Structure 1
Amino acid sequence: MPMRFRAAFMLAAVAALFAVSAPAAAASDYPVRSITLVVPYPAGGGVDSMARVVALKLSDALKQQVVVENRGGGGGTVGTKFVARAAPDGYTLLLGHTGTISINPALYTNLAIDPEKEFAPIGLVASMPVALLAHPSFEGKTVADLIKLAKDKPGALNIGTSAMGTGGYMAAELFKTVAGVDVAIIPYKGTAPVMNDLLGGHVPVAFGVLPPALGNIQAGKLRVVAVTSKKRFSLLPDVPTFDENGLPGFDAVLHYGVLAPAGTPKEIVDKLSVELRKLVATDEVKQRIHMEGGDPLASTPEEYAADIASEAQKWGGLVKKLGLKVE
């Protein structure tokens, strides 16, 4: 073999060796710089709150800063797409939840991503029930009262929710389907507008997550009729579940977790998963999650993947059954 060809061959072999070993080295040294944790919603909501709890403690554990970056838009689709298309190196992560990962793929016709294929689940962080909230003047005291009122006057009862596809909206649709009632679901653009109208008595009841309402609940300006989890919520132990109110098995709980782009090295996913489970198990983080309106929920990557598939089947099936679509 001529010398110049032998030299070229050796250079190619060395380059191939480095190409194979570089990801392994990068994975073993990870992380060597700051990590971005993307929240696919504006600052201030439930997903953002969970992300900031995770980012603070994960920074301490990894000895590198974990920076929360809000990329809102399109009901969570903009930020979700951004992370799906990011480099699979462990430096761009997503704080996902049931809405973005399990509802939106069925709801948005132009989403163009499959979360089950385009993300590597790292682990769950928390669950958060949706609550049925009422203005103090509303005559119904229980879920049974609400169902009776709805059946006595079909189509007359207005139920407020945040935007179509959110946890509150889907909980209202599930209630309407399971209870077999004809009610008018009024979706607002966000949590704040529906809370304002509920406080003003413009809508008598609403489905929504608890954090934005807790202050008004404690002040007696709003009343919690029931929560949508299978078990009573830790911060409101006296509030019954829908199951206890005559709708057996009713479950509309949002799950929050951390994901990386598909193709992220397993060593990085496993390292992040171990640290995530450690921090969720600490009393401090448990308390923070409770104060944000959730309950701690840790998992392995495999358990989170199974959870995503199960939630997608449940909520995606309901979206398709109801014919809901967002262009």
Structure 2
Amino acid sequence: MKIKKAPTLRLRLAAPAGALFALGRPGGKKILAAAAALLCAATVQAQGWPSQPVRIVVPYPPGGNVDVAARIIAPGLEKAFGQPFVVENKPGAGGMIAGEFVARSKPDGNVLFMAANGPLLFSPLIFKRQAYEWNKDFEPISSVSLTPMVLQVNPKLPAKTLQDLIALAKKSPGDLNMASPGAGTSNHLMSELLQELAGARWTTIHYKGNAPATTDLLGGQVDFNFDQVSVALPFIQQGKLRALAVTSEKRVPSLPDVPTFQEAGVKDMVAYTFTGLLAPKGTPQDVIDRLSAALQGILSQPGVIKKFETLGAEARGMAPAAFTQYISREDQRWTPIIKKAGITAQ
């Protein structure tokens, strides 16, 4: 009786090119076997994730919009995956302390980065320290929120509309003062973008934070600024500041009478500060996909949407590929502005 030879089992492994090259050399089979073992281990690890609490690292102190956004999504992620999602604040160096910590963490899905424009894209340029590169050191998972800004002026300034403000700036270049919470902040960069688009010039006054900048704007020591809608709204409603335009695509529900920049005559001024979740490069794709799907479900819940609206933000999740493309467009848009304006934190 003839015994049929069992068919050869062929495995297609994503082994490094060097391992495949070594197959025909002494010890080559051991190298390939090791590569196969690593691949299998990664697959098993992804299937078993999460088996322990997951850390969401925030690059700012507690209480800010990025921190609050992380705390809004954490309970939903805990419910989805059956493990605690712990928010951990690591402020400093424009957010780079947190970013570098996550970038250097083991890519097993247990340490995530709650990023925003500044820490992810701007800080390495502004601080002139290439601690990480977003497209080389991180795996984008999903956006979480988009927050528009509002351009607001002190009521004493004779500018009732955006075009009035631009006309004043063109008439006396450099005379108007814009309050910035710091070099390279989104508030500052939006001012630089508007100057470029409108062909106007003013003087930027940098403060150590948004609170002193707002205090001087309210007191009339400076003329105008850009601020997040949630922060600006009480002063606008009380008549202490006058809103001229918002950077969103559509009018903001809490400021229905304030036009968008496009409605006010300045195109290409749609801009947001974003928050989003990223993982260290090399995190298993299955973990990335599961997290992204869960986040998109969480961010579509009415209660979560309402919480973000109270922050003046829009809850918006994206698939990993779409979020990667979004970050890339933001990078291509803002990096030239930072370089052209010579913005540094030195």
Q: Do they fold alike, i.e. is TM over 0.5?
A: yes
Structure 2 CA distance, aligned partners of 1:122 and 1:105?
A: 21
Higher relative contact order (CA 8 A, sep 6+): 1
Question: How far does residue 56 in structure 1 lie from its aligned partner after superposition?
Answer: 2.6
SS in 1 for 2:52: coil
Distance 1:182 1:17, change over 3 A: closer
| Residue 322 (1) aligns with residue 345 (2) | no
8 A contact 2:138–2:278 mirrored in 1: yes
- Aligned partner of 2:196: which letter? T
Which residue of the other structure, out of 69, 72, 76, is the alignment partner of 1:50?
A: 69
Whole-Å separation in 1 of the counterparts to 2:34 and 2:99: 34
Give the drift of 1:95: 1.0
Question: Aligned-pair RMSD on alpha carbons?
Answer: 2.1
Establish whether residue 130 from structure 1 lines up as the match of residue 144 from structure 2.
Answer: no
**Conserved 8 A contact 2:183-2:344:** no
What are the residue-to-residue correspondences of 1:60-99 with 2, within 5 Å? 60-99=79-118
For residue 16 of structure 1, report the CA deviation from its aligned partner.
7.8
1:1-327 map, 5 Å:
19-327=38-346
- Measured against aligned partners, the alpha-carbon deviations of 1:65-104 in whole angstroms (never above 9, x if no partner) come to 1111111111111111111111111111111122222323
Q: Which runs of 5+ in 1 are unaligned?
A: 1-11
Partner of 2:8: none
Q: Does the CA contact (< 8 Å) of 1:40 and 1:73 recur in 2?
A: yes
Which sits farther off after the overlay, 163-172 or 37-46?
A: 37-46
* Partner Cα distance (1:301, 1:186) in 2: 38
What residue identity is the alignment partner of 2:83? Q
Q: Which runs of 5+ in 2 are unaligned?
A: 1-30
Distance in 1, Cα, partners of 2:237 & 2:88: 31
Q: Which residue of 2 aligns with 1:4?
A: none
Counterpart Cα distance in 2 of 1:318 and 1:13: 47
Provide, for residues 170-193 of structure 1, a one-character-per-residue CA deviation record: whole Å limited to 9, x for no partner: 001111111111200112121222
Normalised TM-score (structure 2): 0.86
Identity of aligned residues (%): 39
Tell whether the 8 Å contact from 2:96 to 2:124 is kept in structure 1 after alignment: no
After superposition, the C-alpha distances for 1:198-254 in whole angstroms (9 at most, x for unaligned) are 222222211121222223333332222111123222332221111111112212211
CA contact (8 A) 1:162 1:169 kept: yes
Question: 82-91 vs 249-258, which deviates more?
Answer: 249-258
- For residues 222 and 59 of structure 1, do their structure 2 counterparts lie closer, same or farther at Cα, with a shift above 3 Å needed? farther
TM value normalised by structure 1? 0.91
Equivalent-residue separation in structure 1 for 2:35 and 2:196 (angstroms): 58
